[in-house]
Amino acid sequence: MRIILSGKTPGGICNTVAFRNRLEHNVDIEIANYRNPVFIMGDIMQRIYLDHNATTPLHPEVKKAIIESIDVFGNPSSLHEDGRLARILIETAREKVAALINADPEEIMFVGSGSEANNTVLSLVSCSGARCSLHSPADSDLITSTIEHPCILETSKCLENRGTKVWRVGVDNRGLVKMDDLEQAVSENTSLVSIMMVNNETGAIQDVERALKIAHNSGAMFHTDAVQAVGKLPLDVKKLDVDFLTISAHKIYGPKGVGALYVRKGTPFCPLIRGGHQEMGRRAGTENTLGIVGLGRAVELRASEMDTETERLAQLNRLLREGIESRIENIHFNSDPACCLHSTINVSFEGVEGEALLLYLDYEGVEVSTGSACASGSLDPSHVLLEMHLPVEFAHGSLRMSMGRSTTREEIDHVLDVLPDIVNKLRRMSTVYGGAR
């Protein structure tokens, strides 16, 4: 199919990042694979990306910054001109990341992903080396929550197998970590408490400030996985007094494969990846210069765009939420706007299986994600929703829509146009909802 750019297409639609990327890269392929063209505005097919918690498209300015640096090939550890050039780029980016969260540049180390940062922090717990352990080996309990990202949950299971005592604090039905339970769990043996700042599936903002006080009061270190929070919530590590904080670039319109870990000055540390002096000896491996440049530019842009975007997303959240509520019956919102980021709406539809819903929406040009087990190939539906005591059948029928800087009102209107019919179709064929005879 050929695409003809029509002059009457609203600017808000064709100016979105997603659209531009598609036009430049793979629009022909995309269209050829869809028998029904979707979201036709004039002659244009536009896909609606509502999966920003999974990843985000590159910000055009980030893309520009990376392209401008693309020929910088030097090893940042080299002393010659090419090496020094790369070093300057990295250190500039470090300053930018530090500025966003009010850290000192030397407190920021670059890593390959948010998962790596989280693994690095948790690996400290099991470290018994005299110089790098957080506490003496006896004080080595780890406390985390039941709704963490799998990179925390699975690492904590691994630590458990190696003899570390792990406590996992549960959540209430809004998805908030129970602080009273955390208080019960900490002891003088606790070495680290790790609680995520914002949950990726529901957008629930955790009371990190309180969790941190509980941890520090018992003499434990505190880590927060802030991958879903950085660039969406104002963050000040000095005020917060956090010991470790995880950042990922690709959740904030930066490139994949790069993240950062904040390590408060004076905090004991031991590298996960050894064998090099890079990153002040904290992470071996030649730096991903271009990725780091992208991360630096991305956080800089977040600082300037965050406030207006937050306000805009709050309006879109209301629109989407009220729209779903008024059009579709027997639903359950798993994201309470009073305690969740407004960019995320997680909602369950009774009697509908999530993967089927996701793929019908995909066919209509709407890209979302689901907590259904069948979509991921795992056996159980979303651990986060189950921990919130959502009935299993509801968890199988959940959708996560996560909005971002490219999300427009027109897009939300389109989702509200197509969603009720899809839910209705699936319910009519459902064994549970359509009234099995």
Partner 1 sequence: MNSWLYTDKVKDHFMNPRNIMFDDAEFQYDAEGRTGNIKCGDEMIFYLKVDPDTLTITDCRWKTFGCASAIASTSVLSEMIKGMTLEDVRNISNVDIMNELGGLPDNKVHCSVLGDKALEEAINNYYREHGMFEKVRDTESRIVCECLNVSEEEIEHAVLEGARNYYQLQEMTKIGTSCGKCSEDAKERLSFFLDKHVGIKVCVQP
Binding mask 185-224 for partner 1 (x = CB under 8 A): ----------------------------------------
Q: How far is the CB of 57 from partner 1 (least distance, A)?
A: 17
Q: Is 161 in the site for partner 1 (CB under 8 A)?
A: no
Binding mask 11-50 for partner 1 (x = CB under 8 A): ------------------xx--x-----------------
| Residue choice 373, 390, 401, 422 for contact with partner 1 (CB under 8 A) | 373
Alpha carbon 257 to chain centroid distance? 13
Q: Is 389 in the site for partner 1 (CB under 8 A)?
A: no
Q: Is 390 in the site for partner 1 (CB under 8 A)?
A: no
Q: How far is the CB of 202 from partner 1 (least distance, A)?
A: 20
Q: Has 158 been annotated as catalytic? A: no
| Residue choice 43, 95, 393, 417 for contact with partner 1 (CB under 8 A) | 393
The one-character DSSP state at 106 is G
**Cα–Cα distance, 365 to 46 (Å, whole number):** 7
Question: Quick one: 138 or 379, whose CB is closer to partner 1?
Answer: 379
Q: How far is the CB of 392 from partner 1 (least distance, A)?
A: 5
Q: How far is the CB of 74 from partner 1 (least distance, A)?
A: 37
Stretch of 70-78, 258-266, 321-329, 350-358 lying at the interface with partner 1 (CB under 8 A)? 350-358
For residue 430, the number of C-alpha atoms closer than 13 Å in the C-beta half-sphere is 22
Query: Closest by alpha carbon to 177, among 198, 151, 150, 200?
Result: 198
Question: Quick one: 304 or 431, whose CB is closer to partner 1?
Answer: 431
Q: Which residue in the list 14, 158, 339, 374 is annotated as catalytic?
A: 374
Amino acid at 154: E
Question: Quick one: 18 or 263, whose CB is closer to partner 1?
Answer: 18
Q: Is 371 in the site for partner 1 (CB under 8 A)?
A: no
**Cα–Cα distance, 45 to 47 (Å, whole number):** 7
Query: Closest by alpha carbon to 226, among 217, 209, 218, 215?
Result: 209
* Helix locations, 255-395, DSSP H: 278-281, 289-327, 354-363, 373-376, 383-387, 392-395
Q: Is 384 in the site for partner 1 (CB under 8 A)?
A: no
The one-character DSSP state at 133 is -
**Within positions 396 to 435, which residues make up the interface with partner 1, using CB under 8 A?**
396, 428-435
Q: Contacts from 264-270 at CB under 8 Å and sequence distance 24+?
A: 264/107, 264/237, 265/104, 265/106, 265/107, 267/221, 267/243, 268/124, 268/132, 268/133, 268/134, 269/124, 269/132, 270/123, 270/124, 270/127, 270/129, 270/131, 270/132, 270/133
Sign of the alpha-carbon dihedral angle for 302, 305, 307, 312: negative
Active site (catalytic) residues = 374
Give the residues lining the site for partner 1 (CB under 8 A): 29-30, 33, 351-356, 359-360, 363, 372-375, 377, 379-381, 392-393, 396, 428-437
